Amino acid sequence: MAATRTFSIIKPDATRRNITGKIISKLEEGGLRVVAQKRIQMTEDQAKQFYAVHKERPFYGDLVSFMTSGPVVVQVLEGEDAVARNREIMGATNPADAADGTIRKEFAESIEANSVHGSDAAETAKEEIAFFFTEDEIVG
Ligand code: CMP
């Protein structure tokens, strides 16, 4: 199967604890390649727009506050079946349900401070990549 791309965020709980390298190692060891990456401070507008799909959910406000509470690392990952592979490596959204060896099992603090975000489908990945990166910033 040809290499595909997905979008990933290393969240503020992980940048705060200085464990971005450990997380990237897990992604790389899992067969994904970082083809674009930047460390940014998300603005409130960006976080609101990025998570707009959740705007009716009770946790939306807290999620926006959390995602703007410190720097994040946004990245494009490439590999075979990248969306699904990344989700396997991340583990379940709630760390209490995450399988052993996954990023969230090992590093997440809570369902909100769960260390990483990953696109849930190929179409979402395209939109999320375009939200943060121009095509010439992706060098794979
Ligand atoms: P993420 O993959 O970034 O997508 C939406 C985020 O909302 C999710 O990870 C969680 O960090 C956060 N979140 C907070 N509370 C909940 C909840 N009850 N259910 C699902 N997601 C939640």
Nearest C-alpha to atom 11 of ligand 1 is from which residue? 112
32 three-state secondary structure: coil
What is the predicted pLDDT for the residue at 45?
98
Q: How far apart are CA 18 and CA 3, in angstroms?
A: 30
Inter-CA distances, 60 with 51, 54, 94, 122, Å: 8, 6, 16, 23
* Residues annotated as part of the active site: 117
Query: How far does residue 64's CA lie from ligand 1's centre (Å)?
Result: 10
Query: How far does residue 30's CA lie from ligand 1's centre (Å)?
Result: 23
Query: How far does residue 71's CA lie from ligand 1's centre (Å)?
Result: 18
Q: What are phi and psi of 34, to 5 degrees?
A: -80, 115
Q: How far apart are CA 37 and CA 8, in angstroms?
A: 9
DSSP β-bridge partners for residue 9: 74, 117
59 lines ligand 1 (CB under 6 A): yes
Q: How far apart are CA 37 and CA 122, in angstroms?
A: 19
pLDDT tens track, the chain, 140 positions:
689 999 999 999 999 999 999 999 999 999 999 999 999 999 999 999 999 999 999 999 999 999 999 999 999 999 999 999 999 999 999 999 999 999 999 999 999 999 999 999 999 999 999 999 999 999 98
